[in-house]
Chains A and B, each alone.
Chain A
Amino acid sequence: MPYALCFLLFMLGLYCAVVKKNMVKIVIGIMVMEYAVNLFLIMLGYRSGGTAPIIDRGQLEAGMGQFISSSVDPLPQALVLTAIVISLGSLALMISICVRTYEKYGTFDITQIRRLKG
């Protein structure tokens, strides 16, 4: 069920990116898609009732076995952190393209941005 909701969120973002004509809305759709993928990856590593994969002093002294059997998978979280960083960079790039385009054409509507001049 959570995976289906995640897929629904991705499809919502895809719909927004494909159908809408405003450039800012397209950017928002792309970001919703990215966050849906991030959510999916996080949920792959989830374990119901699991604890955060952070070791404190008590757990270290009690031995690692109990920690390993109770914590969620930290690998997708590290992967998603990297993905968030990259999505931040791509978001800045997209926003600056939007700003430059608006500067040149005075509109965000992609159907009116037709002149291919340098």
Chain B
Amino acid sequence: MKGMTIIVKTIASWVKVLIVLFGIYIILFGHLTPGGGFAGGVILASSYVLLMLAFGREFVQKDLPLALDSKLDCLGAFMFALIAILGMVFGGIFFVNFLQKYLPGKPLNLISAGTIPLSNIAIGLKVGASLFLVIFLLSTFRRDTSANR
């Protein structure tokens, strides 16, 4: 049987939903409360690391293939660059907050910071995907070694 015992598997499959939800909350409310793209992305990656520890590597690879993970990684970086360049197009300055004019919002509301939540989402995608990729690849290194010897 791959992975850990049935107890760990059951608990992990319940808890993973909560962890993903908490990560999304940290990302979306990054401009209001402590946290943000990086912290939320780390939490999202840690949910998949939990799945990898409990169910084994093959299960996670079926759920989130490396190609898709790499695409999400690139999508995050691309979104972040796009937001910056759109700032240059609409506001004249790199990274200018061009949405703030059209969507003023009240302070401390969810929609109040213009492009900052969008940037947070991009950073969260980037960090979550690439951190999971790093941990996954570091864990496959060792298996390659043992297979070569």
Chain A interfacial positions (CB closer than 8 Å to B): 52, 54-57, 60, 81, 85, 88, 92, 95-96, 99-100, 102-103
Q: Is the CB of A96 within 8 A of B138?
A: yes
| Given A54-B33, A81-B38, A99-B108 contact (CB < 8 Å) | no
Give the interface SS of chain B, mostly helix, strand, loop or mixed.
Answer: helix
Q: How far is the CA of A84 from the CA of B64 in the complex (A)?
A: 27
Q: How far is the CA of A54 from the CA of B107 in the complex (A)?
A: 13
Closest 7 CB pairs between A and B?
Answer: A92-B134, A99-B141, A103-B145, A57-B108, A85-B38, A60-B107, A54-B34
List 15 interface pairs A-B (beta carbons < 8 Å), by A numbering. A55-B107, A56-B108, A57-B108, A81-B38, A85-B127, A88-B131, A92-B138, A95-B138, A96-B137, A96-B138, A99-B141, A99-B142, A99-B145, A102-B145, A103-B141
Chain B interfacial positions (CB closer than 8 Å to A): 33-34, 38, 107-108, 127, 131, 134, 137-138, 141-142, 144-145, 148
> How many A-B residue pairs lie within 8 Å, measured between CB atoms?
29
Q: How far is the CA of A103 from the CA of B33 in the complex (A)?
A: 44
Nearest neighbor of A57 in chain B, beta-carbon distance: B108
Residues of A within 8 A of B34 (CB): 52, 54
Residues of B within 8 A of A103 (CB): 141, 144-145, 148
